Amino acid sequence: MSIEVSGLNKTFGDFVALDDVNVSLPKGQLTALLGPSGGGKSTLLRIIAGLEKADSGSVTIEGVDATDLPAQKRNVGFVFQHYAVFKHMTVAKNVAFGLEIRKRPKDEIERRVAELLELVHLSQFAHRLPSQLSGGQRQRMALARALAVEPSVLLLDEPFGALDAKVRKELRDWLRRLHDDVHVTTVFVTHDQEEALEVADEIVVVDQGRVEQVGTPDQLYDEPANDFVMSFLGDVTHLGGLTLRPHDIELDATPRLAGGVEGTIARLVRIGFEVRVTVHTVDGDEVSVVVTRAHARSLGLAEGRTVWLTPAAGAAVVPRMVLAG
């Protein structure tokens, strides 16, 4: 295990940021800490980095107890949401900073900086100031700066959160490929489930200071541990006593399958290749179903028609959480 976190607690005044968190992150993997804002995932990352101190619990990095080590001694690379560039230094100087602190020989620093700038595709910007770079370029520079000191783990706190959607998507793919090249144990925080599902080897779902589930993207999507994980990873709807995904419901114009729930189509919305159908069942549920355009046409769906709904075979379902009040 590269990072071992056990029994971590952290409060800010009355607010419980982390509540007895235990996580083991294997070496060389790309792990996402996923959860809603304010759920404690950034706090967890900052405690691993030594930028925040836990109230209790321990952090072990590469077998070394780091609980009481200051950030300077942990040898972790940290990338911030808002880049945290050293404004008055050139791109090359920014990347060289950690190596200069370590008093490496000049020619070694030069060579390593050139390599890293090559890796993040900023070679031609070496002598620019960060203010002359775009957001995406600044974040890649920050990544090179963090990688320069050959950290044992790389931590990224909402690394693409401040970028626009298109750049975010490009950087996401790029991070995945970079990780495949560099293989450093990487943990990144995100509240975007698509980002986590697409990039990570393993996802840790964190909510209200607690770890809700740990697993691969497939495990999380197909076997969610509870209602929260299920609904956080994608759209959900309720049919009978179950929570399931709108595309995991079979919709028929005749009572073809046993156990089908009868209902009336209240609304039909076509978005590109898919059709979103809202059905009011005889049980009083409002169920969303997603079908393909072709399927909708072949069934002749229209508002006001009676249909029968059945959970699809192999659908991921969890019992519906009963909310008090």
Partner 1 sequence: MSTVDTTLDRPARTPRRSAPRSTLTRSSGLALGLAMTWFSLLVLIPLAAVVVTASEGGWGAFWSTVTTPQTAAAIRLTVLTAAAVTVVNVVMGPLIAWVLVRDRFWGKSVLEILIDIPFALPTIVAGLVLLSLYGNDSPLGVNVANRRPAVFLAFLFVTLPFVVRMVQPVLEELDRDVEEAAASLGASRVTTFRRIILPSLAPAIAAGAALSFARGVSEYGSLVLLSGNLPFQTEVTSVRILSSIENDNVAGAAAVATILLVISLVVIVVLDLIQRRVAARG
| Region of 141-149, 206-214, 215-223, 265-273 interacting with partner 1 (CB under 8 A) | 141-149
Give the containing element (helix H, strand E) for 172.
Answer: helix 165-182
Q: Which two tokens stand for residue 63?
A: 């077998």
Q: Which of 164, 246, 238, 232 is nearest to 204 (CA)?
A: 232
| Region of 11-19, 120-128, 196-204, 307-315 interacting with partner 1 (CB under 8 A) | 120-128
Q: How far is residue 22's CA from residue 20's CA, in Å, rounded to a whole number?
A: 7
Q: Which is nearer to partner 1, 98 or 263 (CB)?
A: 98
Q: Which residues of 176-199 are buried (b: 16+ CB within 10 A; e: fewer)?
A: eebbeeeebbbbbbbbbbebbbeb
Q: How far is residue 205's CA from residue 233's CA, in Å, rounded to a whole number?
A: 9
Q: Which is nearer to partner 1, 163 or 239 (CB)?
A: 163
Paired sense of beta strands 15-25 and 3-12, if any: antiparallel
> Is 176 a residue that touches partner 1 (CB under 8 A)?
no
> Is 127 a residue that touches partner 1 (CB under 8 A)?
no
Cβ of 208: how many Cβ atoms within 10 Å?
15
Give the containing element (helix H, strand E) for 216.
Answer: none
| Region of 9-17, 164-172, 245-253, 296-304 interacting with partner 1 (CB under 8 A) | 164-172
> Is 88 a residue that touches partner 1 (CB under 8 A)?
yes
Q: Which of 126, 162, 167, 257 binds partner 1 (CB under 8 A)?
A: 167
Q: CA triplet 54, 175, 10: central angle to 5 degrees? A: 10
> Is 37 a residue that touches partner 1 (CB under 8 A)?
no
Q: Which of 6, 93, 215, 274 binds partner 1 (CB under 8 A)?
A: 93
| Region of 173-181, 197-205, 281-289, 301-309 interacting with partner 1 (CB under 8 A) | 173-181
Q: CA triplet 71, 72, 77: central angle to 5 degrees? A: 75
> Is 306 a residue that touches partner 1 (CB under 8 A)?
no
Q: Which two tokens stand for residue 250?
A: 């079979």
Q: Which residue has the tokens 């419980």?
A: 16
Q: Which of 10, 41, 74, 191 binds partner 1 (CB under 8 A)?
A: 74
Interacting residues with partner 1 between 179 and 198 (CB under 8 A):
none
Q: Which of 95, 5, 2 is nearest to 46 (CA)?
A: 5
Binding mask 245-284 for partner 1 (x = CB under 8 A): ----------------------------------------
Q: How far is residue 81's CA from residue 18's CA, in Å, rounded to a whole number?
A: 21
> Distance between the two ends of the chain, CA-based, in angstroms?
43
| Region of 75-83, 187-195, 197-205, 313-321 interacting with partner 1 (CB under 8 A) | 75-83
Taking the complex as a whole, the smallest distance from the CB of residue 13 to partner 1 amounts, in Å, to: 14
Taking the complex as a whole, the smallest distance from the CB of residue 45 to partner 1 amounts, in Å, to: 11
Q: Interface with partner 1 by CB under 8 A: which residues?
A: 49-51, 70-78, 80, 82-90, 93, 97-98, 101-102, 121-122, 124-125, 132, 134, 136-137, 142, 145-146, 148-149, 166-167, 170-171, 173-174, 177
